[in-house]
Structure 1
């Protein structure tokens, strides 16, 4: 875990799909029995996300082993990312070019080492959007995951339940240039 992290960028899902599914299965192993987290549900979401405008994934490798990933795509006003919110969002937020961070995950041995933040920052580094948003389960890690995002500069802006199978989520946002 002391070897350097190499962050590799991918804009074509076909180039990285199998690796993302493999790492996801490891990262989410305790949750895979739940319908929203099951591998087929993730694969379906991933395939849809991979066709959305501005798709990009970053995978972190340590000695050629994938240890974590983050991916997202561009969203504009009226995108379903905004319209699924519990409360209507004001135009002064939705009109700003936004990267929707759809997934981020790090394998157990590399958690707590800063790898997630480095992968996250590598993804934002090349993006043209002004802000980045994500949705988090506030119960994940007994609240530690949401607290981590807050420490990265994210702030809660709304609640959302993307699908009936999904847990209630909190939408968070921050400027890309933090």
Structure 2
């Protein structure tokens, strides 16, 4: 590891091209939680395959010396998408009547945290998006609340809550303009 300036960002619209790299980084990022069903690599792989087949899929990976060190990925969601249907309270039509991009996952290997890699992959992911809003879900307890606070510092606001699956914790749904 050197610094964030040595990081190369690559964008992909084909999951097949980067599935292995995403799984490798995820396994290290979530290592302390992998014993929980929702966080198991197999569960993530199933979600990843579903998301990769949805409209507007995009992944941005950060590489250092050809080694994947971080990622962000997501896809477009429309009015009526299960993303919105599971949310409490029901989201405003302001967000649902137009396409929105859902940032489904963001992760950085521990040795590369604190170098701006997460922000770099986040911003690169949004740079080519045409949707007016980006939404994400975060476990408010992650990092003792630090992850939630980080997203707030990036301009996200709390919109509601969601529990995407019975094995998932209750997550905070956040949103902000893409630009």
TM-score, normalisation: structure 1: 0.97
Provide the residue aligned with 1:16 in structure 2.
Answer: 18
> Is 1:159 aligned to residue 122 of structure 2?
no
Q: Distance in 2 between matches of 1:4 and 1:58?
A: 16
Within 5 A, what are the aligned runs for 1:124-163? 124-163=126-165
Gaps of 5+ in 2: none
> Is 1:104 aligned to residue 106 of structure 2?
yes
Match of 2:123 among 121, 124, 147: 121
Q: Distance in 1 between matches of 2:147 and 2:153?
A: 10
1:133 Cα offset (Å)? 0.2
Provide the residue aligned with 1:46 in structure 2.
Answer: 48
TM-score, normalisation: structure 2: 0.97
Which digits, 9 at most, give the CA deviation of each residue in 1:12-67, with x for residues without a partner?
A: 10000011001100110000000000011000000000000000000001121111
Aligned length: 177
* CA RMSD, Structure 1 to Structure 2 (Å): 0.8
Provide the residue aligned with 2:69 in structure 1.
Answer: 67
> Is 1:58 aligned to residue 45 of structure 2?
no
1:96 Cα offset (Å)? 2.9
Q: Where is the helix percentage greater, Structure 1 or Structure 2?
A: 2
Q: Distance in 1 between matches of 2:103 and 2:114?
A: 20
1:136 Cα offset (Å)? 0.2
Which digits, 9 at most, give the CA deviation of each residue in 1:103-159, with x for residues without a partner?
A: 000000111111100000000001111110000000000000000000000000001
Provide the residue aligned with 2:28 in structure 1.
Answer: 26
Provide the residue aligned with 1:175 in structure 2.
Answer: 177
